[in-house]
Structure 1
Amino acid sequence: GVRGVIVKLTEGTYYINPNAQAQIASAQAAGLRIAVYHYSKYQTPVSVINEADYFTTFVKKYGLTNNTVLVDDLEDAATRQGDVTQNALAFRDRLAANGYQRYMLYTSPSYIAATKLNSNTFGLRNIWMASYPYQPTANNLWHTQYGA
């Protein structure tokens, strides 16, 4: 029943998942849809651009099409600096400028509360909301208003 995977690709401007290329190739061989994510550390407009460019460099290097969903994993304490919503929008806009229009934002309710991130700015279908129920059941689903 698995239809797709999300592979961690990069973090900041210093890390590339050493297994990403093999994970992507395996998923492609299995006929799965592939999305990739970047664990963000950005704090300023300049670091936003640097991280988005770093991320898309590896998206291109691994041959992922511009139809691939790119996810901004926004949860690290370092990213709580400045205008968090504007930084996240700038990251999304830089991905678009680099040729990638399909975007998701991964975050959590606690991050939103701490930073005042305006998640509505991204459209609820473009949010992957962290959810860790202790006893998940089909009758007790959390955050169903979001895309994931």
Structure 2
Amino acid sequence: MADLSSHNPDSLSFFRQLSDVGVKAVIIKLTEGSNPGTAYANPKAAKQIKNAKSVGMKVHAYHFARFRNNADAVLEADWFLKNVKKQGLRDNSAMVVDVESKEIPNDATVPVNAFLKQVQKHGYPNVDVYSSASWYWERRLDQYQLIPNNFWIANYGVSKPGVNNTGTWQFTNNYMGMKVDMSYDFFNFYTGECRKKPSSAQYHIVLPGESWWGIAHKYGLNMNHLAELNGATIKAVIHPGDRLRIR
């Protein structure tokens, strides 16, 4: 899956080139900020959407967030929704909030959820969050509390996303020298039907000083079984902030 903005071309030949190298879906930047406020809208969006669809790609949309609180988040969601509807995108497209601006508060989980709830309230159930792995490492975003369960993570120059339960991994910003951001979509959230069912699994966030034995004892589990649930053995090192499945 490629994600595009006004920095990328909007020509049909460009989208054919993407299709030829195996791209199945695109997510296009529609907006940034809010109205009133910055109120930016991508001038290439309509043509990018049209040409992506013409080569058979699934099309999704994202908003670059600058909100500082819940009220800002709702205003930005409204500006995004206005443009989503203007572009004719339907409820089978994913709607994503891009969380990377320095303006966003350190504890970003609550305003991010406020944005996504507003989007869902207006008829777009398939939502996701894009951010770098460091936002999760630094606990600025809390996977356990966020509404989506896909999690689109950016982490370049490494062999894996670096965040547990990543659904989609943006691994480069220059795919095949094309100056295009590219992602692996592990569970087909963007490249498939865009309807990943909510998980019934339960998780524990590792705290400083905790061990496999201590966490297993807390939930009445065998520690070897706990490790197996997480694709590991008890010899694996766990770190504060890791998200372990317990059910």
Alignment of 1:20 onto 2:20 = no
Q: How far apart in 2 are the matches of 1:96 and 1:62?
A: 17
- The two structures have a TM-score, normalised by structure 1, of 0.87
Indicate if the aligned counterparts of 1:10 and 1:37 stay in contact, CA closer than 8 A.
yes
Give identity over the alignment, percent.
33
2:161 match: 142
Q: Deviations over 1:18-55 (max 9, x none)?
A: 10111001011111101111000011121111000100
1:4 match: 25
CA offset at residue 147 of structure 1? 1.0
Cα gap change, 1:142 to 1:117, in 2 (>3 Å): closer
Structure 1 segments (4+ residues) deviating >4 Å: none
Match runs of 1:118-137 below 5 Å: 118-122=142-146, 125-133=149-157
Q: How far apart in 2 are the matches of 1:19 and 1:102?
A: 23
CA offset at residue 108 of structure 1? 1.3
1:104 match: 128
Indicate if the aligned counterparts of 2:127 and 2:148 stay in contact, CA closer than 8 A.
no
Indicate if the aligned counterparts of 2:129 and 2:148 stay in contact, CA closer than 8 A.
no
- The two structures have a TM-score, normalised by structure 2, of 0.54
CA offset at residue 112 of structure 1? 2.9
> Matched residue pairs, number?
142
Find the structure with the greater CA-based Rg.
Answer: 2
RMSD of Structure 2 on Structure 1 (CA): 1.8
Structure (1 or 2) with the greater helix fraction: 1
Q: Deviations over 1:71-119 (max 9, x none)?
A: 10001010125x4111111111000111110001001122234453212
Match runs of 1:84-99 below 5 Å: 84-99=108-123
CA offset at residue 123 of structure 1? 6.6
